[in-house]
Structures are given as C-alpha cells and as structure tokens.
A and B are shown apart, each in its own frame.
Chain A
Amino acid sequence: MKVYQKTYTKLQAITKATISLDAQGVANEELASVNGKLAQVVKTNGSRVTLQVFSGTEGIPTDAEVSFFGAPPTLKVSEQLAGRFFNAYGKPIDGGPEVEGEVREAGGPSVNPYKRRQPSELIPTGIAGIDLNNTLVSGQKIPFFADSDQPYNQVMANVALRADVDKIILGGMGLSNDDYLYFRHAFESAGALDRIVSFVNTTEEPPVERLLIPDIALTAAEYFAVDKNEKVLVLLTDMTLYADALSIVSNRMDQIPSKDSMPGSLYSDLAKIYEKAVQLPSGGSITIIAVTTLNDGDITHAIPDNTGYITEGQLFLRADSDSGCVIVDPFRSLSRLKQLVQGKKTREDHSQVMNAGVRLYADAQNAKTKMQNGFDLSDYDLRCLDYAKDYARELLSIDVNISVDEMLDTAWRLFARYFSPAETGIKQTLIDKYWKA
C-alpha cells in the first residue's frame, strides 16, 4: 500500500523538533517518515503541514523525503510481549524477534467513567510509609515525588516486585543506562521477567522520542487488562523528563507558554496518561506508579503541581537526618484512595492509628523547631522527639518490609512507650481493645 503513497521532497521550514511542508490529504496525528526518521502530524493549515520529528531534526535537509503512513502510532499486541524489552517505537532492543499480534492504536479512547468500578483491592508493598499511612489500591495512579538524589527507581522496583499483580509494564523515559540495567537486573534476579514488559528510552536517545513511551506502554497495559482481565501495574519513570519533551515541541511550534515554560495544555496532556489507570468491571485493572523528579523539593513547579491535581495522591521521599533513613514523608505524602481499603480490607483501627501516628510526629516537628530556636523543651516535647526517632526508623523508613497488622502493632507499641492514651486522641473503643499497656 505504501508504494502508492506520494513522496514529498520540499520542506518549507525546519526547527530543532519540527518540520513543515506543503502536502495534500494528510490526517491529523498520522505518522510519517522524514528521511527514514519517524514523525507525526501536529498541525495543518491549508496545505501547510507541521510534523514533530521524534528523533530530532539534526541533519535533515530541505529536500528530505517525506512519506505519510496514513495511520497514527500503533503497537502489535499479544502474549509475546511478556518478558521483552522495546524502544520507544515498540522495536525490540533485547535481540529477540519482532512481536506478532493484533495492531492497536496507541493513545486510544478513554474508558466510559460509568463503566468503571470503584477500586477496592489493597496493593501491599511491605513499606509502612506506604501501606500504613498511604495505602495503595489497585486501579490507582500515584507518583513518587523525589529529588534526583533519592533512590526512587529502587523503591519503585521493590514495590513492583512485591505487589501481587499479573503484569508489570515499565515505561522508561530518559532512563540512564545504569538505571535501565538496574531494572533489568532486578527483574531478572527476582525471576519475574516473564510477567514484565519494558519500553525504554534512555538518556542516550533523543528526548522527543519519550513522548511515545507512555501511550505505547499503556496500549500494552490495556491489552492485558481489558482483553486478558489481568491486574497490570505500569511504572512510568521519569514523568518530569516527559513533560520537558512536551515543552520542547510546544516551544518549537511557537505556542505561548504558561507557568514554568510549560505548554498550557500540560494538565490535559498528563491527565490523558494518568487517567488510563482503571478498575474494570471484568476484574482487570491498570495501576500506575510514576516518578516525578523535583528540583530541590519544589512541588509548586508546574510539573509536580499539575501531577498532584491529577493523580490520586503522591509519595514523597526524603532523607531524614534524625534517623538517618530515607523515609516516605508522612506530611507531604497522600493516598487518596486509602479509605477504600483502610479498615475494610485491613484492621478496624487502621485509620485512627495512622492519624494519631502522624499527628504525634507533627508535634515532634514542632518540638524540634523549638529546640532549634533555643527554647526549653517540655516533658511532652522530649517524649515526642524520642517517639519521632523510633517512628521514622521502625515505620517510615523505606527499608521496612512487614505486614499491615505488624505495622499497626508496632504503632500501638510506640504510642504506649511514649504517651498516655488521652494524648493519642484515639477513639476510646479502640484504645480499650488495642492499647499495649
């Protein structure tokens, strides 16, 4: 069929990310080849067509050969995807054969909200900073907010391997080669390779290519969740680099930037990806855990800010100097779906214990501020500070790996060690039942 496609050889404009030419009968969002490089139609105006070139326009001459494919990005889907590694175009990078299967459009339609089911299954991770304070639920979408020096990829790999899911889909955007190999090794050594599909764009590859990764990874996820009724966990790292690539393209198209030089459509662009997380009526589900790296903990930047409004919470990693651990920050972290499982799929005291634990930790932070300002500390302040150290080490640290019941018991033990029942503010009926005298 492509044989009959007309080839164009006269470009009218070239920027670092886009080219423009005059062409007829071109469809919006269809793919094209520009001197062998993959490109996609992003704008038409009369006969003038603008394409974004995923691998960058370096070396493209004004007489480059342009031919249109007549279709948007697609992925061939089948069980053969499992255990394989692909690049942003869905081509194997593990030396294996091409995947045979049904052709699916990437970035397809949304699930009818009325056909969704309410997420209700706990995803245990063993990490108390997550399970106790910010419980994850299948069908949820949640990012790690972390500075670049935090071990977010390791934590994410741990979470993925401990989670009870049928498939794990890794979408790596601007992954360093070292991190790519880390993931590969972690999956291999856990013997989990046969339930993992990876789509990877590394830092060595052109940034605009990253734009293809989430759609293609989620196309694979939808195949397993919708067609095969499987529980799928999608890992997307690093979404900040994805957003940066969006801003490059919009900038080259002369769009007026909004906050932090990001395109005005950033919210919708990110939402289209994250909203693919779903609990389907058939039992299949897509859960998305992403990474959004921060610049010096700044969550007011447009990327984490828009992300926070879209996702169902966020997990905030930071190094805690008092305990010397990397912890899941109980103040800035949140799982919006936690109440769907807390006390329902977990013990009845879960939510009250969680709140009391965090409130006392907040009191400890106040005491710390007082101490730093050189004031005398009360007996209560001192107890809070001691509690905070134990709480960080035994519960908040990302190295913890225990069951939810053990987390609750640990918390009750810490409460009893440092406080009176009244100081915890927990409902009396629960105190009567669980207080560890």
Chain B
Amino acid sequence: MATKGKVTGIVSNLVTVQTFGPVGENELCHINLGGTQLLAEVIKVTGDKASVQVFESTRGLRNGNEVTFLGRMLEASLGPGLLSGVYDGLQNDLTTMEGVFLKRGEYTDPLDHEKLWEFKPLAAPGDKVKAGDWLGEVQEGWLPHKIMVPFKFEGEYTVKSVAAPGLYTIDTTVAVLKDADGVSHKVSMIQKWPVKVAVRCYDNKPRPGKIMETGVRIIDTFNPIAEGGTGFIPGPFGCGKTVLQHAIAKQGEADIVVMAACGERANEVVEIFTEYPELVDPHTGRKLMERTVIICNTSNMPVAAREASVYTAMTICEYYRAMGYRCLLLADSTSRWAQALREMSNRMEELPGQDAFPVDLSAIISNFYARAGQVVLNNGQTGAVTFIGTVSPAGGNLKEPVTESTKKAARCFYALEQNRADQKRYPAVNPVESYSKYLDYPEIQATLEETVERGWIEKVLRAKNYVRRGKEMADQINILGDDGVPVSYHESFWKSELIDFAFLQQDAFDAVDSVCPMERQKYMLNLILDICDGSFEFEDYEKCREFFKNLINYLRQMNYCEFGSERFLSYRESVDSSLRSE
C-alpha cells in the first residue's frame, strides 16, 4: 500500500509534506494539483515531515494537496530505441510531446512499446549468467543492441529458455532465468535502473590504455584524453566552451555520444538536433545523429531536474558500455547542477559551505566522475565511458568550489582563458596551464609510441617546452622592450608563436581545419619541430618577426587545405624555400 501524505509548506520548488507512513530517501512521489500529478523526490526526512524537491513549477500548489509516494527512486528506462533520442532530464521523450509549450505533469515514455525488433538469441538454455551478461541482440539502427540480464539481478542464474529468433516488442519476454532457489524470472528487452546508483555489472575496471581521438590538435597531441578517461573544461563565458565541446561531440572517436545539456541555453540543443542529422561522423561516415542521445534540461526548465539530467545521461552511457561500446558523455555544464544543489540546500536552510554551496559538493562531484572508466565485461569484451564536463566558474575565477572540486576528480584539465579568447586565439585552451595526466601513464605512452610514432612523447614535451620558453621570453620582452633583449629572445618567442598559430589554434568553423586526424597532427608537429629545432642568425628582431610571420602564414594556409593536396604541397614548398633562404 503506497504511503500517502499532504502538503504543509511551499517555498519555490521545495515542498514540505506530512507523511502517513514510511518513506525512503530519494523516493519519488506525485503531488496532486487539481488532477495533474507533479513528480517530486524526497531529499530529507525529519520525523513525519519529508522535504521533497518538485521537478515542475509549484505555481498554484496549496497546503493540503494530496501526495502519493511511489516506492521507487528515479529510474531510467533502458532498452532498444534510445539512440537518436531527445529526452528531458527525467527521460521524458520531448519529440512525442504535443504543443509548443511544455505542459506541467506531462510525462512521455522514453521508449516505443509498439515497435517490433528483430531478436537474435545469444545465450542458450543451461548457460550460467550474471547481471549484465548478454542474452540476445536486436539491431538498433547500425548498432547491435545487446539484451542483457537486468542489472538489478543479484547472484548467478541459469538460463531456462530464450526466445527463438523473431520480431518482438520490448515488453515481450525474451528469456526466462532461474535463480539459485529455482525461482523463474522473466526478462524482456526493457529494464529499469536507479540513475543515482553506479552500474557495476562488469568484471574489472583497468587503467585506460588508449587515447580517444578528437581531431582537436591541442587535445590529441598536447593533452590527450584517454578512452574511459575524465576531463573538464572550465572557462569564463565567451571563451568558446560550447564550441569546443561541440567539436569533441562531433569528432570524438566513440560509438555513442550522450550530450547532457544541463541548465544551459536551449538554442545550443536546437543546434544539435538541427545539424546532427545532416553532419557525418568522420570515423564511420554515418550521420552523427545515429550515434547521439540528447538529454536536455535547459536553463528555463525545472531546476530540480538538472541534477537528474546528468545522472540519467550517465546511466544511459553505462548501459551501452555494458554492451561493449565506447561511449562519450559530455555534460554542459556541471556548474548549473551544482547551483541547483545550492538552491535546494539554501531553501532547506542547511549550513552553507564555501560560496553558499552545500558542504558535500566535492564528494558528489568526485562520485560522479568515478562512474566513467574503461571496463572489462564478464565475457572479456571491453567498453568505456569517457566523461568530459564543462564548468562555468563565477566571474571566470578558477578558485571557486565547483572548479576546485572538479580539479580533484578529473584527470584532464582544459583551461579556457579570457585573454586568448580576446585575441581570438581559438580554441582558447591555455597551452601552459592545461594538462592531461594520461600523458604520464606508461600504458598510454606505450600505445602512442606504437600507434603514432616512436619518440612521440618526447616530441610533445619538446613542443610544450618551446611554448613555455616562448611565454617567458614574451614577458622579458614586455619588461625590457624589443631592443632591450638579445635577438635570440625574439627567436624563442616567435617559435612559440609559430606553434601557437600553426598548431594549437584551429578553426572550428572551417570544413577542413576543424577535423585534424592524428596522422596529420603528426605530420604538422614534425614539420613545426624541425623549424623550431633549427637555429637562425637574424640581424635584428624585425627580420626575425618577418621571417616567422611568413612561415606562420604558409603553415596556416596548409591547415586550410586538404591534407596532401596540390595546394597543400605547394605551401609546404613555400615553407621549405623560406627555410632554405634563411
């Protein structure tokens, strides 16, 4: 019998409920507002009073309104048909809602229950299976979608029967499993999982050993992110956070990309579902939308559902990871989620931590980042969830709680810098401050040496060093003046400018330059390092500047040309001839 309750207090979307029975932390409830059921989640219980956060506007709600507790936590529905979906933070299908405006209390099913899927069994009666093991598969677009033993099943089961190949709906029983006590359990193609709990149906979680290519030079070469790795992009507004994130979403080497638009602009989501059906995945040639799932809780949608949106997105990634796929999760922005936590904590009159954020913010963030990772499944196959979050630090100040907490949790740090953005040096990732801890992983180093070329790590570090030295020289030149320093200072400075302009900067809106495959990155880095390793005897700093400006121009033109094309090679020839003349 479901526990009932009634509303006794309202402040914005925090509602106090008097309960007439047992309730659980994070249990969901419906608040009846004139026949419309508003979904809410218990976030605190004191005596017979429960504080619930409502996932909808509470306008018109009254004390005394009836509350029905649902006996379950917020769960994601997992099954074939998620790909290409556009969902809100609670996984309602936004594409099947009627009308232009969102209606309160309108909940739509994330999966199509009518559609027939062609099922192929992968397990046979008598097989011993555990949660996450594959029982069969259906073709979801291009992707063989595994039907698994539900994650909630604990212990070992014996397959009693599996459906014959054929067309079934997701609700059809496709397998029957027997538990240790001999009790039979039916399995369909759909399963539910509480989003705030990590899915752990795998054998082990090894250290990542391979990079995830993004086609963005400053990431792949300078600060590579690993498959199954974590990274974050903090930056003040207007520094190109969204453009960089979209570049990664479009070009990242992953089977599935889940975009969680958390408290951000609605038009950015519109851009995704307008352009992705046309844009092509550079790795497979398929349309981008075919590998993308969008979870959007834009900034004007209910604040409480922001938190749910990132958890729902993570759960979907974990689901596909258990099928052996490489997933990429992008969350923009985790700061909005933190702010949603702050609003709630504030309304509950909890003692605030730094900047009025709740004191457990850091723990919440690191728990979430820990759900990413590469895993070895029970059957020996591997899957990965790579997670990149953006952070929107207040006032662009990186010494604020969300950035600091995230820095502790994420392994890659892509610091966007106002100064670079002002100079239109995009992507405005600071080449000196940013880092990837994966460059220090022996596993990653070994793979890079093998797949890119021998000595690659040393080259990357050398390039970084040229940049660092150049910045130091720039400071000296600014203090002492152009004439006050030896010409060699200028040479160092211009070498770093060369790397910056010809390699680190990249035009995200140019069809060719926006995607730079690793092969091409290798070619350019080698060419640039050859130039930088040379020593020149310039008469004066004007000559030095002119020489490098010319080179920069040729190299940039190369970046705009098809790799290896006639024009490309002719600019290469111009580079060589100016090197010869010096």
Contacts and interface: CB of A to CB of B under 8 A. Distances in A.
Contacts of B237: 305, 308-309
A107 B59 CA distance: 10
A359 interface: yes
Contacts of A334: 238
Contacts of A296: none
Nearest to A108: B101
B142 to A, nearest CB: 23
A43 B10 CA distance: 5
Nearest to B479: A373
A81 to B, nearest CB: 20
Of the four ranges (under 10, 10 to 19, 20 to 34, 35 or more), the interface on chain B belongs to: 35 or more
A184 B418 CA distance: 39
B9 A45 contact: yes
B172 interface: no
A46 B396 CA distance: 42
Interface stretch (A3-11, A165-173, A198-206, A310-318): A310-318
Interface in A89-116: 107-116
Contacts of A114: 86, 94-95, 97, 273
A29 interface: yes
Interface string A355-384: 100110010000001100111101110000
B266 A275 contact: yes
Given A28-B62, A113-B270, A308 B16 contact: no
A272 B300 contact: yes
B299 A268 contact: yes
Contact of A113 (B57, B94, B542, B556): B94
Interface residues of A, number: 82
A271 B297 CA distance: 12
A275 B299 contact: yes
Contact of A109 (B9, B101, B275, B342): B101
Interface string B269-299: 1110111000000000000000000001011
Most buried by B among A116, A301, A362, A376: A116
A347 interface: no
A373 B86 CA distance: 55
A341 B549 CA distance: 31
A324 interface: no
Contacts of B251: none
A420 to B, nearest CB: 9
Contacts of A140: 267
B186 interface: no
Interface in A23-59: 24-30, 42-47
A86 B175 CA distance: 67
A310 B158 CA distance: 53
B267 A256 contact: no
A264 interface: yes
B298 A268 contact: no
Interface string B318-347: 000000000000000000100110110011
Contact of A118 (B267, B394, B395): B267
A196 B416 CA distance: 41
B355 A271 contact: no
A109 B296 contact: no
Given A45-B9, A378-B542, A301 B395 contact: yes
B102 A265 contact: no
Interface string B361-392: 00000000000000000000000000000001
Contacts of B303: 265, 268
A140 B62 CA distance: 36
B445 interface: no
20 contacts: A26-B63, A28-B61, A29-B59, A29-B60, A45-B11, A110-B101, A112-B94, A114-B95, A118-B267, A255-B346, A256-B352, A258-B342, A259-B355, A265-B343, A267-B299, A271-B300, A275-B265, A300-B394, A422-B553, A427-B560
Interface of A: 24-30, 42-47, 72, 107-119, 139-140, 226, 255-259, 264-265, 267-268, 271-272, 275-276, 278, 280-281, 300-302, 305-306, 308-310, 312-314, 331-332, 334, 336-337, 339, 351, 355, 358-359, 362, 369-370, 373-376, 378-380, 422-423, 425, 427-428
